[in-house]
Chain A
């Protein structure tokens, strides 16, 4: 029995001491992805990009874990905390409940949650104004559409995804008040983030109804949606990471949600000792969301489209255009 207890108590004391050492010596960061998996080409992969950047710059080791199911969140968070990993990034809103519990148990460690708010002094909550970025890609979609019908395929039907949808709708109407939006959600469970087959079917259904630009706000499910767009010669809009490279020629743009920046900054702040708890809301102004323009989609974006979108972007930042946040009152009236 004693043999087990010695390493265990050693582990606990390491866990307790880690935060005092973190400012001076190298930090021991960790990241727990959401169930979509690290290589979802979208949300989680964005975080992974930021983590890789931090690794390269500071040549420090980052512990990573991909939970196989939702019940593993709490175990993973606690396991990293017990090892004295600090800071620990929890990716995705579904980790919030577990994190509220674990962060309370380890008040000396620092936690960061992306996409949700956990109100504890040792938790940094990073949320995004997805409606602002979605507004811009909505404008582009409306301007690129020949049929005047634009599609939206969301992942799991939660207020967060409706926030994307609502911003997108406003952007469409702003650019072309007569344009029509057809929306579908992939599902009501976390499996909806990881169902490319269903995503493709939903997109094809929308194409059959006249849609010629589709916005995929659905994590890994988006891979199927964007593939369907390519197969039918329609335009697709990516989400979270820059997905323009996936299908050059049929990718109109991507709504960038800079989770990579969020992860990178959080680690960087812990590294130089400037890490702070509390909630950060990242919008266009903070560079947290944006639209993508690169060599893969530059042929699809005309000079006129670019000027209009950039003008709207400046207006949103200046506060002249107010993009409604679905989650402020759970309705999409603007």
Chain B
């Protein structure tokens, strides 16, 4: 019996396996870092200290993690419906447009308690609308959502560049950015200089997604569609409407990145504020096994890597920004793409013990 492989227990799947994957990634990273002539132990120490070593570092890590939670959740929700949303980048970008337009239109009249909710809703609505078009194309016309969402990233980018360069640009400015928002549009800062109230919104979204997916009949129908579309049809689910619902929710969640970036930190509309979070959200969701709790944990890791990586290149001249991308990429590779590498071995080991 000792040779048969049983599925892993939940604790091993969610905690042990990711830890082994990360350890493997760091061993490979250590070898590469040593090859370019940097002490790997020192680099690891700086990476960890840079991510969690001081209140300011923790604030930055959590601020980055907030973005990853939003985009990770966005990918997860679509994934549960069997839809691969690669358009988080564009949805976040357009969410920023909605958020920015709301603030630029109303920040002279509305008080903060009304202005900020309006901006948050606008960010979610614009993000949802940007996801709704590919969803509609898939549901009614059979265009593959992977292709259309990717293409919509480029459309979003071109649209934002046009608007920022020609319409929203602050008069007399050389950089394509909107005028600064009024002070009333700023979310309260919780810690350091960047961590703001959006992290509470992100955690609320996690709970909301969890309740929706596992404790409502719509969530049940959505997951059924993801597992087996024919079973969902047999159960009376309207797949077209469910596709729309899943993608709009996904887009709305991605659009909320703008709340953290624009309302929380930048206080203006600017180019490329979404800086790759939409794409990283795919890795976050994969690593977090599409579960809100897993997404939070993966987002924390990604936030720590983002922050620690920046600190690393501050301290070690040998590690430039390209090297930081290599390190982050290896961690993602091992924990995302190669996650099944140690699985059979672990399964054998655990079933032997049992």
Contact = CB atoms under 8 A, between A and B. Distances in A.
Pairing of A with B: yes
Interface of A: 4-5, 7-8, 11, 37-38, 63-72, 74-76, 78-80, 82, 93-94, 96-97, 116, 157-160, 188-190
B132 to A, nearest CB: 26
B30 to A, nearest CB: 22
B55 A5 contact: yes
Contacts of B161: 188-189
Nearest to A102: B193
Contact of A68 (B60, B165, B321): B321
17 contacts: A4-B54, A7-B53, A8-B54, A37-B321, A63-B314, A66-B321, A68-B325, A71-B266, A71-B275, A72-B310, A75-B60, A75-B310, A76-B310, A76-B314, A158-B174, A160-B174, A189-B272
A8 B56 contact: yes
B313 A69 contact: no
Interface in B55-95: 55-56, 60
Contacts of B174: 93, 96, 116, 158-160
Given A4-B55, A96-B175, A160-B174, A79 B324 contact: no
A4 B57 CA distance: 10
B261 interface: yes
Interface string B186-218: 000000011000000000000000000000000
Q: Is the interface of A mostly helix, strand, loop or mixed?
A: helix
A89 B24 CA distance: 39
A160 B175 CA distance: 10
B106 interface: no
Interface of B: 53-56, 60, 161-162, 165, 174-177, 193-194, 261, 265-266, 268, 270-273, 275-276, 310-311, 313-314, 317, 320-321, 324-325
Given A4-B54, A63-B314, A71-B261, A189 B270 contact: no
A188 B165 contact: yes
User: Closest 9 A-B residue pairs measured CB to CB?
Assistant: A188-B165, A68-B321, A69-B275, A66-B321, A158-B174, A8-B54, A93-B174, A189-B161, A94-B175
B113 to A, nearest CB: 25
A80 B310 CA distance: 12
B313 A66 contact: yes
A94 B276 CA distance: 19
B313 A78 contact: no
A4 B192 CA distance: 13
A79 B84 CA distance: 38
Contacts of A78: 193
A151 B98 CA distance: 40
A68 B324 contact: yes
